[in-house]
Amino acid sequence: MSVGVRKQQAAQTGAELKAAGVRAFARLGYLNTKIIDITAEAGRAAGSFYTHYPNKEALLEALLADVLAEGDAGAASAGHRDDFRDRAAVRWHVAQYWDFYRHHRVVMVALQQAATVSEPFAERMRQMIEPDVHHIAGHLAKLDDLPGDPVTVARMVTTLMGTFIAAADEDESAIDTLTDFIYNGIGGRA
Amino acid sequence: MSVGVRKQQAAQTGAELKAAGVRAFARLGYLNTKIIDITAEAGRAAGSFYTHYPNKEALLEALLADVLAEGDAGAASAGHRDDFRDRAAVRWHVAQYWDFYRHHRVVMVALQQAATVSEPFAERMRQMIEPDVHHIAGHLAKLDDLPGDPVTVARMVTTLMGTFIAAADEDESAIDTLTDFIYNGIGGRA
DNA sequence: TGTACATCAGTGAACGCGCGTTCACTGATGTAC
DNA sequence: TGTACATCAGTGAACGCGCGTTCACTGATGTAC
């Protein structure tokens, strides 16, 4: 076994297909992307795809696994304040979301598209968002002047962050606008 | 010409196909709905569809036209207050949105799905939302303590209303939670 | 009011395109001795 | 170190399914005289 050149190259092709998938999704949208779009983008033959993934959904799953793995790595990052009466604590959470969505934008949008068409992916998406909702709800529960039930408000906050960030362009000043809006919205400025 | 029974029946079948389309979209989602799903729902043969619409997109356009026609009818409805320092004015706008989305939920969601896959529909959707954004921005511009540029904040408000209402269930108490969140968010509680 | 012909909504089987997926083949890597 | 055989990633043409769309046909409505 001479270092396993074969396995190595196969793994690399698999990774190249993932990268090509991301580029194709970015260009055409997940739902409009055909298998040949991905293989062409990777400079490979159509049939090659199936050596690595049984179908397009599996490629998206693989990309999602990468995203989550990376997310876990940075999860315990410093700076986490949990008193939402402190604007800085709110801003920190908004910025986290912002960075995550910016970084994984294409895969997140692809997941959203897959979810509109496939119940399993819709379920997958809910499972990804739910922990965040409850994390935020936990912080909110400590506030006095909340406009409603903590979980409902948390859902509003994550919804707002998710869709607004997806639609916004690179302009980072939106982080502060979002922060202020949310900070006021949850009654921080009492 | 004996009252034009033929034209009348044709028009009715066209309308029945629209209604069947809405039911099919609600059940399967717009993107997953096939032409036969619609004709079967209407109790008609597959080929019949093409007597009335050239394709599924045209049916959605027709449904959209109905929605907009109805919307224009109720547009000048009473109760419109435009001073957003007044919570009631904000609540009125939220309730308007709520009613509109509730009433046309299926078509709105279908449009959203169509937009993820087709640039023309994406453009159509932007055109539908843009007047609302500027309407809201106009009200916001009169406030002092806005968290950012009026149009940006207006976009946040409409985004939040649109996606949150689409996801929420029938529970109307969400109107007040949304209202409070937005009212605080835009700095109303100064 | 009646007859003969024209038009048209609706039918459902058939057609054909697009694309996902398979498969026989190739050439390179791995293994056995 | 060399030879013979096995395995496997990758190729690209071919296959076949699903579904949108067409079309010859039917029966009912409309028109002309």
What is residue A41's predicted lDDT score, i.e. its pLDDT?
Answer: 98
Query: For the CA atoms of A41, A44, A49, A55, what is the dihedral angle to 10 degrees?
Result: 30
Stretch among A16-20, A47-51, A72-76 having the lowest mean pLDDT:
A72-76
What would you report as the CA-atom Rg of chain B, rounded to the nearest whole angstrom?
20
Predicted pLDDT at A71: 78
* CA-based nearest distance A135→chain B, Å: 19
Q: What is the pLDDT of residue B190?
A: 47
Q: In the predicted model, is pLDDT for residue B10 greater than 50?
A: yes
Interface membership of A177 toward B (CB under 8 Å): yes
Which of B181, B182, B189 should be substituted to probe chain A, the one whose Cβ sees the most A Cβ atoms within 10 Å? B181
The confidence band for B74, taking pLDDT boundaries of 50, 70 and 90, is low
DSSP strand E in chain B: where?
none
Distance of C1' in C8 from CA in B12, Å: 15
Quote the CA–CA distance of B119 and A7 in Å, as a whole number: 41
Q: What is the pLDDT of residue B1?
A: 46
From the CA of B187, how many Å to the nearest CA of chain A? 7
Q: Read off the pLDDT of residues B133-160 as tens digits, 9 standing for 90 and up.
A: 999 999 999 999 899 999 999 999 999 9
pLDDT score, position A1: 46
Q: What's the whole-number mean pLDDT along residues B26-33?
A: 98
Find the closest chain A residue to B118 by CA distance: A32
Q: Which pLDDT band, with edges at 50, 70 and 90, does B187 fall under?
A: confident
Q: What is the DSSP letter of B48?
A: G
> What is the average per-residue pLDDT within B100-115?
96
Say yes or no: B133 contacts chain A, CB-CB below 8 A. no
Choosing among B156, B171, B176, which should be mutated to test the A contact, i.e. which has the most A CBs within 10 A? B156
* Structure tokens given for A169: 């362009």
Could you tell me the end-to-end alpha-carbon distance of chain A, in angstroms, rounded to an integer? 69
3-state secondary structure B150-177: HHHHHHHHHHHHHHHHHHCCCCCHHHHH
User: DSSP labels for A54-103?
Assistant: SSHHHHHHHHHHHHHHHHHHHHT-S-----TTSHHHHHHHHHHHHHHHHH
Residue A34 CB lies within 7 Å of the nucleic strand C? yes
Mean pLDDT for the stretch of residues A144-169? 91
Q: In angstroms, how far is C21 C1' from B91 CA?
A: 54
The string of DSSP letters for A136-182 reads HHHHHTT-SS-SS-HHHHHHHHHHHHHHHHHHS-S-THHHHHHHHHH
Q: State the sign of the Cα–Cα–Cα–Cα dihedral A154, A157, A163, A166.
A: negative
Is residue B15 within 8 A of residue B66, CB to CB? The reply is: no
What is the average pLDDT value for chain A, to the nearest integer?
A: 93
SS3 B144: coil
**Residues B13, A3: Cα–Cα separation, whole Å:** 69
What residue type is B149 in one-letter code? Answer: D
Of the two residues B173 and B61, the one the predictor is more confident about is B61
- Predicted confidence at residue B42, as pLDDT, reads 98
CA distance A150 to chain B (A): 11
Mean pLDDT of chain B: 93
- Which of A163, A184, A186 shows the shortest C-beta gap to B159? A163
